[in-house]
Structures are given as C-alpha cells and as structure tokens.
C-alpha cells in the first residue's frame, strides 16, 4: 500500500493533476517536434503509426509509470529502490529510476535552448520583423538567430532561470498556479491558428498530407528505423514517458483518483494538441511553398509568415509564442523536478538549493546544444538519415530513440512481470475487471514486445552512426 502523501506535497485536485501532467506532455514536443517529424517521415503514414504507438504502448506504460510513482511516493530513483524492496527484488532496479531522471535531464538541457528560441521570437514578432515577410526572409531571420551562440545562450539562461524559480517554490506554490490558466489558453490560441489555416489556399492539401497516408512516400524508407522508431520516440517524448516526469507527478496524486481515466484524458489532450498543431502548420507550409521536411526550424519559419499576413498578426504572433513558451515552461518544470526531489530526499538539501544546483548543471549541458547549431556543428548519419546539428541531434536521438523506449520497456516488465498482481490491482483500483485484464495483457506483451522489435531491429541490423568527413 502506498504512503498517503509525498513529503514534497500533493495535487490539490484531480483536475490540477490532469492539467499539470498535460502541461508536462503538451509543449514543444507537440507543437515544435511533432510537425517536423511528420514532415520528415511520411506525413499521414507517420501520423497513423504515431497514433498506434500512443494507444498500444504509450497509454499502458503511462498508467504503469503513474502507478509506480503513486505507490512509491518518492523521486523515481528512490521509488524504484523502495518498490523493489517491497516486492523482494534486486535493489539495482533503482537504476531504472536513474535512467529516467538522466533522460529527462538531457532533454531539459536542449529543450531549454529550443524554448529560448520562442522567447526570442516573442520580441521579433512584437517588433514587426515578420510583417509582410516571405519564406526567404523568415528563413534568414531564423538562421541568424541560431548562428549566434551569444544570443542563444542568453535566452537559454533566461528560460532555465524561470524554470528553476517555479520548481524551487514547490508543487502548490509554483506549478499549480501556472497550469490553471496557461494550458486552457494554449488550446484556445491553437484553435485560432487552425481558424486562420482554414482560410489559406492550401488548407485541404495540408489536411490530406496530415491525415491521408501516402505509403508511396515510404517506398525508399525502412519502416522500422525511418517510421516506427521516430513515431515511438515521439509518442514517448510527447507523453513524457520514460523520463521520470510522469512518475514524479504520479507521486503527488491522491489515492482516490483514478489512474486509468486520468491517463486517457491526458493522452487525448496531448494528442489533440499535436494534431491541431499539424492542422495549423501544414496548410501554411504548402500555401507559402515551404518544405514540410524542413526539420527543427519548421515552426519558426512557417508560422511567422502567417503572422506577417493575417489581420492583427503581430498581436496573435506575440501571444502564440508567449503561450508556446509557457507550454515549454510547464514541461521543463516536470523535467527538472525528478532530479530536484532526489537531491532533497537523498542529499538532505533544501528545495531551493537543490533546484539551483540541478538547474545549473542542466544549463551547462545546454551550452553544448547552443554551440551545436553554429561553432560545434558537424554532420553525421543515423539510420540512413543525415543529421547536421551535431550534439543536439545526438542528444535527441539518444533520449527519444534509445533511453525513453528502453525505460518504457523496463517499466512495463517491472509492473507486469515482477510486481505482484495484488500491488497493481491496489493502485489501479480496477479490481479484476475486463479493463484491468486488457491493461495487464497489453503491458505484459504488446507494449514491451512492440517496443523491443522496433528498437532491436534498428539497433541490430543497421550501422546507424557514421561521421561524414
């Protein structure tokens, strides 16, 4: 039986937990990363595989992570050690907690740099830089930004500082106050952007690209490495699975709140934002002759064109990038939280001290990402795809394609094969119902086997890394 509450606090209500967990899930992964991955990996065919990964692997493993977090009521590292002891298992299962915390920490380091772009674009939009701009002009503005390490480090530092400030204030004093207002506002603004996209010349082309799978586009791709693995990585990245964030948020969830219904609400909200982002962006991409496979800069090149053309575009553009920054902010808080809670529990630090120490280390690691877009950029290939942004791409591949799926497999194995049936029934509160049997079968067989097939096929049958001279 789990402890009644965590020493770090508890969510004041079920809906605050849903908003917080959705805030962790909804962020740059949906609005920045999902559209460009869709463009790079086959459009509608990629979306179809992504949705399949969310349903068959993402939701069951998210339920398992929240289950573990609520039962352990500690940081992911200490939770895994506590639960391993409770089940009579090897204490080295604590390294699963370490894997999640480390993955989240690495993601935070480069996430902060990308979030810094959103802050820069708030000011660029507000100063009218994009009024009447075409694709060539917005591309130039974006290129100038990422080629300047000093500017990137400045905005990276600002974003990391505001993340540290919220985490240092704890559960109720920091995060709850933000998510009550920011997440609903983000949904509203995305709907405004969709409304604008509907007025563009190529709206139907964007919808077709997003929702109608063109399997001919996959003819020259390897389905495992070029479609399934990125889709699986995006499902885990977007839902915050395998990085300790959902587990630590689960530790603040009250005992009488349903894990199952909460997970479905979070997954639906998260996936809706990703789809809405695609609906808003791809019509603009096609209308203005942009390439949907433009990569990480897609949202920073395509959307400013729309803001420069639409009525009150400067106002809506500023508001969009402000809310995008806040969406990134709620996600970054959840990425820093697991490391901070471990320092508080194991090193007996105050929350304020732990927040600034962990945040500073993540900031230092982020410096490597900032430099990978300019001075330290190098090209390499991964699974046949050419990557140009050096350490940033390596960090992204390492976390979303390797660490997160691996962590998800281990979470599935631990909860379904090693924890007692009584323990999981107790936390999920489903009894011996058909819903519980479906979850247990999925988490035992479908989720881990699906992840492993995709993961091992890519890692075992391809020479995935090679540096291009």
Predicted pLDDT at 439: 95
Residue 1 lies in a domain: no
What is the distance of C-alpha 294 from the center of its chain? 20
CA atoms in the 13 A half-sphere facing the CB of 54: 25
Which structural domain, as residue segments, surrounds residue 256?
Answer: 14-467
- What are 267-276's pLDDT values in tens digits? 998 888 888 8
Residue 5 lies in a domain: no
Query: Which one has a higher pLDDT value, 353 or 3?
Result: 353
DSSP, residue by residue, 50-107: HHHHIIIIIHHHHHHHHHHHHHH-S-HHHHHHHHHHHTT--GGGHHHHHHHHHHHHHH
Q: Residue 347 — φ and ψ, nearest 5°?
A: -110, 5
For 206, counting Cβ atoms within 10 Å of its Cβ (0-12 exposed, 13-18 middle, 19+ buried), the class is buried
Tell me what the mean pLDDT of segment 209-226 comes to: 72
Least confident window among 64-78, 353-367, 454-468: 454-468
Which residues are paired to 381 by β-bridges? 386, 466
Confidence of residue 217 (pLDDT cuts 50, 70, 90): low
Rounded Cα distance, 344 and 170, in Å: 12
* pLDDT > 90? residue 16: no
Predicted pLDDT at 185: 80
Predicted pLDDT at 461: 47
Predicted pLDDT at 287: 84
Share of the chain above pLDDT 70, in %: 91
* Sheet of strand 385-387: strand arrangement: 385-387, 380-382, 465-467
Residue 352 lies in a domain: yes
* pLDDT > 90? residue 346: yes
Predicted pLDDT at 63: 95
Residue 304 lies in a domain: yes
Tell me what the mean pLDDT of segment 75-101 comes to: 95
Predicted pLDDT at 15: 86
Residue 83 lies in a domain: yes
* pLDDT > 70? residue 109: yes
Provide the 8-state DSSP code for 375.
Answer: T
Residue 89 lies in a domain: yes
Contact predicate 65/249, CB 8 Å: no
Share of the chain above pLDDT 90, in %: 43
Residues 6+ apart with CB under 8 A from 173: none
Supply the CATH number for residue 371's domain.
1.20.1740.10
- Average pLDDT of the chain, as a whole number: 86
* pLDDT > 80? residue 60: yes
Rounded Cα distance, 207 and 342, in Å: 45
Predicted pLDDT at 310: 78
Predicted pLDDT at 236: 80
- What are 169-209's pLDDT values in tens digits? 877 777 677 777 777 887 888 888 888 889 888 999 989 88
How many structural domains comprise the chain?
1
Per the rule left: phi > 0, alpha: psi between -120 and 50, beta: everything else, 244 is left
Confidence of residue 218 (pLDDT cuts 50, 70, 90): low
- What are 281-314's pLDDT values in tens digits? 888 888 877 777 766 667 788 788 888 887 788 9
Confidence of residue 11 (pLDDT cuts 50, 70, 90): confident
Tell me what the mean pLDDT of segment 322-328 comes to: 83
Tell me what the mean pLDDT of segment 401-419 comes to: 90
| Buried b or exposed e, range 298-322, using 16+ CB within 10 angstroms | bbbbbbbbbbbbbeebbebbbbbbb
Residue 102 lies in a domain: yes
Residues 6+ apart with CB under 8 A from 192: 316
Residue 69 lies in a domain: yes
* pLDDT > 70? residue 467: no
């Amino acid at each position: 039986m789990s402890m009644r509450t965590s020493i770090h606090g508890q969510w004041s209500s079920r809906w605050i937990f849903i908003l917080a967990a959705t805030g962790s899930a909804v962020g740059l992964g949906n609005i920045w990363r999902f559209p460009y991955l869709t463009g790079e990996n086959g459009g509608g065919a990629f979306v179809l595989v992504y949705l399949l990964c969310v349903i068959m692997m993402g939701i069951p493993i998210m339920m398992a992570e929240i289950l573990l977090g609520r039962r352990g009521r500690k940081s992911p590292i200490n939770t895994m050690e506590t639960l391993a002891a409770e089940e009579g298992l090897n204490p080295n299962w604590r390294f699963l907690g370490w894997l999640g915390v480390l993955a989240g920490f690495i993601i935070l380091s480069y996430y902060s740099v990308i979030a810094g772009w959103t802050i820069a674009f708030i000011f660029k939009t507000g100063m009218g830089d994009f009024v009447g701009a075409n694709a060539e002009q917005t591309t130039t503005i974006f290129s100038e930004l990422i080629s300047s390490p000093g500017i990137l480090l400045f905005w990276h530092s600002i974003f990391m500082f505001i993340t540290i400030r919220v985490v240092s204030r704890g559960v109720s004093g920091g995060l709850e106050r933000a998510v009550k207002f920011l997440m609903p506002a983000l949904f509203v603004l995305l709907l405004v952007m969709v409304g604008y996209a509907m007025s563009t010349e190529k709206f139907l082309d964007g919808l077709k690209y997003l929702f109608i799978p063109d399997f001919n586009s996959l003819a020259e791709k390897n389905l495992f490495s070029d479609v399934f693995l990125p889709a699986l990585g995006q499902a885990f990245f977007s839902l915050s699975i395998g990085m300790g964030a959902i587990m630590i948020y689960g530790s603040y969830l009250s005992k009488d709140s349903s894990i199952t219904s909460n997970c479905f609400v979070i997954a639906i909200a998260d996936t809706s934002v990703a789809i809405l982002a695609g609906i808003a962006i791809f019509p603009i991409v096609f209308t203005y002759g942009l390439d949907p496979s433009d990569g990480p800069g897609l949202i920073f090149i395509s959307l400013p064109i729309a803001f420069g053309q639409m009525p009150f575009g400067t106002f809506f553009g500023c508001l969009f990038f402000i809310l995008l920054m806040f969406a990134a902010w709620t996600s970054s808080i959840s990425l820093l939280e697991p490391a901070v809670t471990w320092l508080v529990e194991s090193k007996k630090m105050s929350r304020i001290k732990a927040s600034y120490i962990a945040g500073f280390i993540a900031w230092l690691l982020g410096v490597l990402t900032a430099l990978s877009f300019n001075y330290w950029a190098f090209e390499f290939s991964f699974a046949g795809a050419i990557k140009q942004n050096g350490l940033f791409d390596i960090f992204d591949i390492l976390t979303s394609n390797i660490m997160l799926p691996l962590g998800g497999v281990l979470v599935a194995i631990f909860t379904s094969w090693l924890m007692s049936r009584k323990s999981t029934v107790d936390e999920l509160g489903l009894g011996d119902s058909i819903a519980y049997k479906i979850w247990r079968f999925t988490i035992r067989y479908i989720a881990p086997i699906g992840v492993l097939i995709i993961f091992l096929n890519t890692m075992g049958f391809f020479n995935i890394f090679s540096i291009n001279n």
